[in-house]
Amino acid sequence: MAEKRTTLNNFAYRIVETFGIQAIQLIISIVLARLLIPENYGVVAIASTIVTILTSVVQSSFNAPLVQKRELTKIDLTSSFYVMLAIAGTLYFILFAGAPTIADVYGMPDLALVIRVLGLVLIIGSWNSIQMALVYRNLKFRASMLINMVGIIVQGIVGIGMAYKGFGVWSLVSSQITYQIVIGILYGIYNKWIPGICFSIQSIKDIWKIGIPLCGAELLTIVSSNVYPMIIGLRYTKAELGLYQKGNSVPTTIVNGVVTACSTVFFSMMSRVQDDHDNLKQLLRNGVAITSYLIVPIALGLLSISKDFITVVLGENWLNAIPLMQIACLTLSLYPLRIRTQAIKAIGKANQSFFTNAAYAASSNGLLLIFVFVSLRAAIFSMFLAEVVFAITTGFYISKDFGYTFDEQIRDVASSYISGALMAVIALCVGEMFSTITLWSLLIKVLAGVVSYILISLIAKPKPVRLVLSYLRIGNRQ
């Protein structure tokens, strides 16, 4: 009972954090989209992609072990920090030197300086990675919620202020660096941790024994998920790349936030019961059911209002991003199934994690290299096909290692997809009542979708709803 209550509390904090942050980020994104042009986003998209991949190289072999390790010492933390800092410094030096060449390849002269400045995130991230691992390991999600909200607000103030003053692309760069600095300071104050004057090679070996195998899998996922802007940027213009970035980033930011929230909570919980097969499987099933219940309606709901949203909110500069956003939403509707990979990580099944991610990387990159020559829409659709491959491959390993059969996996998410599809149809039908697209028609469509999903949930009472209600009843008795 206590475990159920803990899960509910953690979910509450992470979901409040997620939706609070996403709401703030959405507002910031809307304001920036009206102040900037697609070309600005195209330059930052490439730089951000490179930095994201390199950040994963630095941190991926440490993040999971620091949360998962049964006994974590000060020497473990300090040694990990120094190694990450050394790797980050080396990669930043290489990135700094190679920035002009990258700019020449993409035909964007201003890209070199953007890469050099944004690359500082690599150094800052070494500190932040340790601090966040401590918070997640101890399930301190309320602190994480408050820290990230403050960071996002400060980031928005800096970005919007600089964009308003005409700094263009630098408003996006500066806001990202500001966010990393702010959360780094706040996490440090909260954890009261600073690196000591000590180092242990054995400690690093123990951490890498867990982390290196998982690192390969995580790198494959990160690279496959972020390689799109780099390849699209080689084939299409800065403006078209900017359209892709905005059409994909608006729904992805929202959905990824929920996925991250659910994944963080369930990975931490599953790591604690990794030796209890039955309990682990039950947590996995609950995670899949609840995550799908939250994400599917968001993804399909955004798909149903994408035309209205871009027309009314982002403005006419972004109309060509409408079909790109719709395809992205279709892909994101499959993201709840990704939480299954957290169970594989929790029990340290590095080989399975690597092979599932390798299948995703191969299908994702292979399909993109084919479809990118057809059209920009086709390139984005290849993301959906790759996600289907990933879902099936992961399902196979989950069925084999956890006894979580395909039939059970389908039943755990079926109600969410049916309810989400009905909600999207209702929202579209309501939209047909209006002859023109206005702010009021958009708000009414959103309201119709939200109300219909709630009513369907109350009438059908699918598994996720019953789970939450059972957790609440347990909490009220304690």
pLDDT for res 166: 86
* Region class of 276: left (phi > 0), else alpha (psi between -120 and 50), else beta: beta
Across residues 198-203, what is the average pLDDT?
80
Asked if residue 475 has pLDDT above 50, the reply is no
Across residues 255-276, what is the average pLDDT?
70
What burial letters (b/e) apply to 12-40, b meaning 16+ CB within 10 Å? bbbbebbbbbbebbeebbeebbebbebbb
The half-sphere exposure of 31 on its side-chain side, counting CA atoms within 13 A, is 18
Size (the chain), residues: 478
Residue, of 346 and 113, whose pLDDT is higher:
113
DSSP state of 316: G
Closest by CA to 291, choosing from 266, 271, 311, 328, is 266
Picking from 166-180, 287-301, 330-344, 451-465, which range would have the lowest pLDDT averaged per residue?
330-344
Cα 335 off chain centre by: 10
Task: Tell whether pTM > 0.75.
Answer: no
- One-letter-per-residue 3-state SS of 326-381: HHHHHHHCCHHHHHHHHHHHHCCCHHHHHHHHHHHHHHHHHHHHHHCCCCHHHHHH
**3-class secondary-structure state, position 110:** coil
The owner of tokens 């989950």 is: 398
DSSP state of 320: G
Across residues 21-39, what is the average pLDDT?
78
Asked if residue 7 has pLDDT above 80, the reply is no
Give the sign of the dihedral formed by CA 231, CA 228, CA 306, CA 313: negative
Closest by CA to 271, choosing from 61, 66, 6, 14, is 66
pLDDT for res 157: 92
Cα gap 301→247, rounded to integer Å? 15
User: Which percentage of the chain shows pLDDT scores above 90?
Assistant: 19
Helix 38-68 to helix 74-106 angle, to the nearest 10 degrees? 160
The owner of tokens 């059969």 is: 405
- Tens digit of each residue's pLDDT (9 = 90 or more) over 335-393: 888 777 766 666 666 566 667 777 777 888 888 889 988 988 998 899 899 888 888 88
Across residues 404-414, what is the average pLDDT?
85
